[in-house]
Structure 1
Amino acid sequence: MNYIKKIFVSVFCLAIIGVPFFVIGDGKLAKAAEISPLITSYAPQVKSADTNVSYVDNSGNRRTAIMHHPGVTMTQQELDNMRDHVRAGDEPWSSAFAKFAADPKAYKNPRIYYEPENDIFIHIRGPWAYENYQNPSEYVGDRANIDGATAFKQAIMWYITGDEAYRSSAMYIIRSYSKIQSVAPHTNFRFATLTYFLAAAADILRYSDTPSQNLKWTYSDTQNLTQAMSLLTVTYDPHTFFMNQHSFSTMGTIGKAIFTNDLKLYEEAVEATTVNSAGDTGGRNGSIKYQMRLMTKNEQTGEALNPANYHVQVIEMGRDVGHSWDDIGGLTTLAQTIYAQGTKVDPETGTVSTKPNAVNPFNFLDDRLLAGTTYMLKYHLGYDVLWTPADSGNGYYTAINSSGRGRIDPFLGILYNYYKYIEKQDMTQEKYKYLATAYEQHMPEGTSNDFPAAATLLFTPNSASQ
């Protein structure tokens, strides 16, 4: 009787403070205590827009494909699934939405850093002193990165709630940065993340309707954003950036490619995600193959490892914990984006392929992305892992930088949801249990300034409730 009383009191207290609760067990998720008061009666709806795309390759062959919209990060099915479960008060979506909505960038009328009267937001200078700015590119880039993340979060909030205040903020940010008129050639990967986030937000807004005429997506919106994206490409490329920065630059490339239906650029971005053969053979390379590197030798001495000691390790762990988590965040975001397009790749070369042996990006190189993530998780969960000195492109990382050991960033949900609900793997097995342990301890997954993250909300499939 006392046990029942304690349960009643606990649930009653949760209800009083308005915190949704849920229980995971037997593969079923309990219903939330209440539906968010942010939800309106209007339910937005995107319409899928498949586009036939093609180009002639260097051998004179025409390559064709279908580009799916919306399809930068999320598909129509994922958007509708998220919206419907939050509106029904289902878990884990309801609690994940509450956490998402608590991010200041998801607030109604959020802070926007764009400065409409400041010329350096229209004519992007390089890192050279200009007027009162020691580094105008950095000044604009840092603000643009935050604004891009805000635009995406506002688009998500609008799609779930139907409140046009969120759509208005997202449209304002997109239309503001679409006014860029010139960009000085220089290096700044922040403009790549801006491009990705604006493409992801725009792909939701472009293919959905809204009651207010001034908030409808127009042909001019498409043209202006396309021009701004094209101008910004002089600040990044998907082949030469250092490790985690490679993911950012490739995100910008793939976001632009999908938004503009550029199949050639899209295929380049896909291969840059998997192998990046145009980059270093190892070293600086931030692709799945070279960042989640299969170690067969000591790269500093050249000494071969015993085959029994071959292992995959995340190379940037030799630098620090924060940047190595960016590798996980960036590469899983890219894999999810490629997966959303239904693209498969050659299992070894990573190029786009339609052959019978082609695989999706999560399964590339025998689930190499998962293997690297698992290696890092084992380390941060307290297990001993073997480290082999590795070429960083700027010397050798001879040991893991242990500062910050135990840190778990919110970039695991894409992999977790894929393996648990899409492949329906037994997450207690050795291959998956570290991912499951880390994710389940921290769910609902939080947000990020640099990646979509928030995967409990965005990517938990409908089958999680069945």
Structure 2
Amino acid sequence: MTTHPQHAVTSSPAGAVPLTRRHLLASVGLAAGAGLLGVGARPAAAAVDPARTASASTHPGLLHTAADLARARDQVAAGTQPWLAGWDRLVANGRSRADWQPRPLETVVRGGDGQNYAQLYPDIHAAYQNALRWHVSGDEAHGAAAARILNAWSSTLTTVTGNADRFLAAGIYGYQFANAAELVRGRGDFDQGALVAMLETAFLPLNEDFLTNHNNAVITNYWANWDLCTMASILAIGILADRADLVDRAVDYFQEGAGNGSLAHATPFVYADEGLAQWQESGRDQGHTVMGIGLMGAFCEMAWNQGIDCYGADDNRFLKGAEYVAKYNLGHDVPFTAYTWQSGPNTTAPHVGWQIQTEISAASRGQVRPVWELVLGHYSGRREIDAPWVRQMAESVRAEGGGGDYGTASGGYDQLGFGTLLHYR
């Protein structure tokens, strides 16, 4: 199989540290007061075990740690803004009601005949939101609701199918299911074993199949979001199930995967002097670029909470991509390098199916999604790195809501949201 040279060689800022697994591991655990000065600043690493091979993960350790949950609880109890505004968004969301009634399916179909996945994603978000309300308020009814919803699905769902979109369902809803489950692990009324078994049998095989075979397409055929949601699902399931093999699989793909979700391919062109990196879907539309920032942000956050720094990889390359997307969607001009790719099945001849985008797309420019607080919370909050465009975007969206607050179709549920409540620092 032949790929376009652009996909194999990408530009990088001068002097960038090579993206190696040892660097990913060694650059984690940095103090919030490190005094970083800019996008390219690199602080000294804190003490970290560079050979993270333990089978047990840190819990809770997906999108939220115990410290994150305690901070939200304490700030809301004190009536402190903007956490209180974030809490108010959560309470106002109809899926956070403790009386939510799940509608589990044995077979979930996304794409093609019999599509029914719209019955799934509101229930996942209801479980997640109720779990958040339980942690922040201590109201037992919400914890019980989250467990009840998850148990209903884990005792019913056996199959995820459909056309190619089945891989999106397995990725997006796999990582979201795992995050909801992580918040209620240890509750006596939650059947964690059944939920993990469901993820490992109905979701994980599709995740692995896609990263390995890409639906039998040439490697550049699928946009970054397809890889990213798949990577997020494998990572989240691995953490939830204490499977270091899955964590390693996901992080290794972030580092050097052949598809468009790996860091170098998701941000194929770096404009070092401007602190920007062109996002792979920028010539497609802006809704998908913002979705990509949300998915890579979620991936990096989950990895960080396991002691792996994907955020800082290749001189904070993800931040440069986020700055690029934020700046353009705030109405400013950004540079654009012509992007070429090949589409078609993996039997396509090397000279067939090439396409090119010569300018950035203004389609859905300015779309609002709850993805920015998480990115800002890490780079500016934890690391004190300047992120001016991400900051402006986060401030324009604050306080972030969650599933159902940004549209009733599936796109309005692509992110779990509530970043102001959980990620503001």
Determine if the TM-score, normalized by the shorter chain, exceeds 0.5: yes
C-alpha distance 310-62 of structure 1, shift in aligned 2 (>3 A): closer
1:167 Cα deviation (Å)?
Answer: 1.9
1:71 Cα deviation (Å)?
Answer: 0.8
Q: 1:315 aligns with which of 270, 275, 280?
A: 280
User: In structure 1, the residue corresponding to 2:268 is in which secondary structure?
Assistant: strand
Paired position in structure 2 for 1:247: 228
Q: 2:261 aligns with which of 286, 289, 307?
A: 286
C-alpha distance 62-103 of structure 1, shift in aligned 2 (>3 A): closer
Deviations 1:86-116 (A, max 9, x none): 122122111111012222222332363x24x
C-alpha distance 163-377 of structure 1, shift in aligned 2 (>3 A): same
1:125 Cα deviation (Å)?
Answer: 6.6
Residue 205 of structure 2 is aligned to residue 234 of structure 1: yes
C-alpha distance 311-164 of structure 1, shift in aligned 2 (>3 A): closer
Residue 92 of structure 2 is aligned to residue 102 of structure 1: yes
Paired AA for residue 235 in structure 1 = L
Q: 1:122 aligns with which of 79, 87, 106?
A: 106
User: In structure 2, the residue corresponding to 1:312 is in which secondary structure?
Assistant: strand
C-alpha distance 149-397 of structure 1, shift in aligned 2 (>3 A): farther
1:163 Cα deviation (Å)?
Answer: 2.0
Paired position in structure 1 for 2:134: 158
Residue 330 of structure 2 is aligned to residue 381 of structure 1: yes
Equivalenced residue count is 341
1:258 Cα deviation (Å)?
Answer: 0.8
User: In structure 2, the residue corresponding to 1:362 is in which secondary structure?
Assistant: coil
Aligned residues: CA RMSD: 2.7
Whole-angstrom CA distance in 2 between matches of 1:437 and 1:310: 15
Paired position in structure 2 for 1:441: 396
Residue 416 of structure 2 is aligned to residue 452 of structure 1: yes
Paired AA for residue 443 in structure 1 = R
Whole-angstrom CA distance in 2 between matches of 1:308 and 1:70: 38
Paired position in structure 1 for 2:27: none
Paired position in structure 2 for 1:371: 320
Whole-angstrom CA distance in 2 between matches of 1:445 and 1:103: 11
Whole-angstrom CA distance in 1 between matches of 2:176 and 2:372: 19
1:313 Cα deviation (Å)?
Answer: 0.3
Alignment of 1:310-349 (within 5 A): 312-343=277-308
Paired position in structure 1 for 2:57: 67
8 Å contact kept, 1:275–1:290: no
8 Å contact kept, 1:315–1:392: no
User: In structure 2, the residue corresponding to 1:385 is in which secondary structure?
Assistant: coil
Paired AA for residue 444 in structure 1 = A
Structure 2, unmatched stretches of 5+, are 1-50, 215-221, 344-354, 404-412
Deviations 1:94-153 (A, max 9, x none): 1111012222222332363x24xxxxx22557867xxxxx32xx31x3322232122111
Paired position in structure 1 for 2:180: 201
Paired AA for residue 64 in structure 2 = M
Paired AA for residue 227 in structure 1 = A
User: In structure 1, the residue corresponding to 2:367 is in which secondary structure?
Assistant: coil
1:294 Cα deviation (Å)?
Answer: 2.0
Paired position in structure 2 for 1:43: none
TM-score, length-scaled by structure 2: 0.73
8 Å contact kept, 1:287–1:331: no
Deviations 1:32-70 (A, max 9, x none): xxxxxxxxxxxxxxxxxxxxxxxxxxxxx9944651011
1:193 Cα deviation (Å)?
Answer: 2.5
Paired position in structure 1 for 2:7: none
8 Å contact kept, 1:145–1:190: no
Whole-angstrom CA distance in 1 between matches of 2:61 and 2:274: 40
Residue 112 of structure 2 is aligned to residue 142 of structure 1: no
Higher relative CO (Cα under 8 Å, sequence separation at least 6) belongs to: 2
C-alpha distance 98-392 of structure 1, shift in aligned 2 (>3 A): farther
8 Å contact kept, 2:275–2:320: no
User: In structure 2, the residue corresponding to 1:67 is in which secondary structure?
Assistant: coil
User: In structure 2, the residue corresponding to 1:315 is in which secondary structure?
Assistant: coil
Whole-angstrom CA distance in 2 between matches of 1:309 and 1:110: 47
User: In structure 2, the residue corresponding to 1:166 is in which secondary structure?
Assistant: helix
8 Å contact kept, 1:206–1:217: no
Paired AA for residue 122 in structure 2 = I
Whole-angstrom CA distance in 2 between matches of 1:103 and 1:292: 34
Whole-angstrom CA distance in 1 between matches of 2:424 and 2:110: 41
Whole-angstrom CA distance in 2 between matches of 1:408 and 1:81: 26
Q: 1:83 aligns with which of 63, 73, 85?
A: 73
Residue 405 of structure 2 is aligned to residue 409 of structure 1: no
C-alpha distance 84-392 of structure 1, shift in aligned 2 (>3 A): farther
Paired AA for residue 400 in structure 2 = E
Moved more, 252-261 or 383-392: 383-392
1:190 Cα deviation (Å)?
Answer: 1.4
Structure 1, unmatched stretches of 5+, are 1-60, 116-120, 129-133, 210-215, 297-306, 344-359, 462-466
Residue 163 of structure 2 is aligned to residue 190 of structure 1: no
C-alpha distance 89-367 of structure 1, shift in aligned 2 (>3 A): same
Paired position in structure 2 for 1:52: none
1:308 Cα deviation (Å)?
Answer: 8.0
Whole-angstrom CA distance in 2 between matches of 1:105 and 1:318: 34
C-alpha distance 421-182 of structure 1, shift in aligned 2 (>3 A): closer
C-alpha distance 316-81 of structure 1, shift in aligned 2 (>3 A): same
Whole-angstrom CA distance in 1 between matches of 2:275 and 2:392: 24
TM-score, length-scaled by structure 1: 0.67
- Identity among equivalent positions (%) equals 22
1:400 Cα deviation (Å)?
Answer: 1.6
C-alpha distance 291-331 of structure 1, shift in aligned 2 (>3 A): same
Whole-angstrom CA distance in 2 between matches of 1:290 and 1:438: 24
Whole-angstrom CA distance in 2 between matches of 1:235 and 1:288: 22
1:78 Cα deviation (Å)?
Answer: 0.8
Residue 132 of structure 2 is aligned to residue 172 of structure 1: no
| Structure label with greater radius of gyration | 1
